[in-house]
């Protein structure tokens, strides 16, 4: 579903997304705002470096951060982001997960070629879009994302688990046989975002720059994604309505790592775990121990 939202994507950006499965360099935040957001994230890292509830901070950064960290829930409601996503998904939007992908300067952390929705229990939906916002200068050297144009047009392909410890993905899952020469780079200036389709093949390289590479990934879905799916899953309504109520609608967090939100977080992870780990060749703990930093 696409239609014109006054402050949303241009026709060219929508066409690019439709034909290639991604769109890049969409301005969202000013340089000053990015500096402020980065400061807030780094302050949180300093004050909560030990994590919460027996889990390290990276667990909360890497999945469902919006459940326990108010800043991440608020960022998912940024009007400029919602307008752009509304241009693609329509006017009823929910947030399934908010995540931070941080690669420290001069580190080997990478993300292998994958399709996001492979293990998310959403079937092969067209109604999941990731907004990935650069909170640092995300150059090619810093390990920006790269995409295979048009790869979203087919279904979900086979992924193999690598369990590579330098891979930021939960099971190091990867699609074999990608032709690197077909890839298009998605370098972003601080404050710009890219949007990518849940079936678009994408990956990213190591950070060989002198600065941390900080990306904020927000996974948006529509009410229809849950149509006919078994089990329970959770999302936060950020625009329009969720009349179907296939999602368990959650509110934003009360405070940073509030006790009640931490309990909800555990419940959500427990309910999602069964779906996400289906078919894994090894026992895995979702994201835990997958340090984003060096
Ligand atoms: O941050 C990265 O390098 C990759 C992020 C990614 O795979 C995603 O947001 O789906």
Residue 288 scores a pLDDT above 50: no
Look at residue 273 and tell me if it is in a domain: yes
| Residue 145, ligand 1, Cβ within 6 A | yes
Look at residue 292 and tell me if it is in a domain: no
Look at residue 3 and tell me if it is in a domain: no
Among the listed ranges 38-47, 113-122, 253-262, 275-284, which one has the minimum average pLDDT value? 275-284
Listing DSSP states for 112-174 in one string gives EEE-GGGGTTSTT-S-EEEEEEESS-B-TTTT-EEE-TTGGGS-PPP-B----TTB-STT--B
Q: Which atom of ligand 1 is nearest to the CA of 202?
A: 7
Which of 113, 217, 221, 290 should be mutated for ligand 1, with most atoms under 8 A from CB?
217
Which DSSP helix (H) or strand (E) runs through 236?
strand 234-239
Look at residue 35 and tell me if it is in a domain: yes
CA 59 to CA 35: how far, in whole Å? 24
Query: CB of 153 within 8 A of CB of 21?
Result: yes
Closest Cα to atom 1, ligand 1: which residue?
101
Interior angle at CA 105, CA 102 and CA 108, nearest 5: 80
What's the pLDDT at 278? 55
Among the listed ranges 17-26, 40-49, 163-172, which one has the minimum average pLDDT value? 163-172
Look at residue 221 and tell me if it is in a domain: yes
Which has more confidence, 6 or 137? Answer: 137
The domain that holds 164 is classified in CATH as: 2.60.120.620
Residue 100 scores a pLDDT above 90: yes
Look at residue 1 and tell me if it is in a domain: no
Domain count, the chain: 1
Q: Which atom of ligand 1 is nearest to the CA of 143?
A: 3
Dihedral of alpha carbons 3, 5, 8, 9, sign: positive
Work out the pLDDT band at 285, boundaries 50, 70, 90.
very low
CA 173 to CA 220: how far, in whole Å? 22
- Domain containing residue 112: 11-285
The 3-state DSSP composition of the chain as helix, strand, coil percent (nearest 5) reads: 30, 25, 45
Look at residue 243 and tell me if it is in a domain: yes
SS3 label, residue 211: coil
Among the listed ranges 184-193, 205-214, 224-233, 258-267, which one has the minimum average pLDDT value? 224-233
Ligand 1 center to residue 205 CA distance, Å?
A: 10
Please give the average per-residue pLDDT across 150-170, as a whole number. Answer: 90
What's the pLDDT at 280? 53
Query: CB of 167 within 8 A of CB of 129?
Result: no
Q: Which atom of ligand 1 is nearest to the CA of 144?
A: 3
Work out the pLDDT band at 287, boundaries 50, 70, 90.
very low
| Residue 116, ligand 1, Cβ within 6 A | yes
pTM for the model: 0.93
Look at residue 294 and tell me if it is in a domain: no
With tokens 């009410």, the residue in question is 223
Residue 275 scores a pLDDT above 70: no
pLDDT tens digits, one per residue of 226-270: 998 888 899 999 999 999 889 999 999 999 999 999 999 999 999
């Amino acid at each position: 579903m696409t239609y014109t939202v006054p402050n949303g994507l241009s026709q060219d950006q929508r066409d690019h997304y439709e034909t290639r499965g991604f769109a890049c360099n969409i301005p969202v935040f000013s340089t000053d705002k990015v500096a402020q957001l980065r400061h807030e994230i780094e302050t949180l890292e300093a004050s909560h470096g030990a994590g919460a509830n027996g889990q390290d901070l990276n667990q909360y950064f890497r999945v469902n951060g919006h459940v326990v960290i108010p800043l991440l829930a608020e960022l998912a409601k940024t009007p400029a982001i919602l307008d752009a996503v509304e241009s693609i998904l329509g006017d009823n939007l929910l947030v399934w997960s908010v995540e931070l992908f941080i690669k420290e300067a001069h580190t080997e952390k990478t993300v292998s070629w994958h399709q996001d929705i492979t293990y998310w229990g959403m079937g092969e939906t067209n109604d999941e879009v990731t907004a990935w916002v650069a909170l640092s200068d995300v150059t090619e050297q810093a390990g920006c994302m790269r995409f295979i144009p048009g790869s979203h047009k087919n279904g979900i392909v086979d992924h193999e688990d690598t369990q590579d410890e330098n891979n930021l993905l939960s099971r190091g899952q990867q699609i074999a046989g990608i032709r690197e020469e077909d890839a298009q780079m998605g370098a972003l200036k601080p404050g710009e975002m890219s949007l990518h389709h849940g079936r678009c093949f994408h990956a990213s390289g190591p950070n060989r720059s002198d600065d941390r590479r900080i990306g904020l990934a927000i996974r948006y879905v529509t009410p229809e994604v849950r149509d006919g799916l078994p089990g329970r899953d959770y999302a936060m309504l950020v625009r329009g309505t969720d009349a179907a109520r296939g999602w368990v609608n959650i509110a934003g967090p009360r405070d940073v790592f509030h006790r009640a939100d931490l309990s909800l977080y555990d419940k959500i992870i427990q309910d999602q775990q069964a779906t996400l780990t289906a078919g894994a060749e090894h026992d895995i703990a979702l994201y835990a121990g997958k340090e984003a930093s060096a």
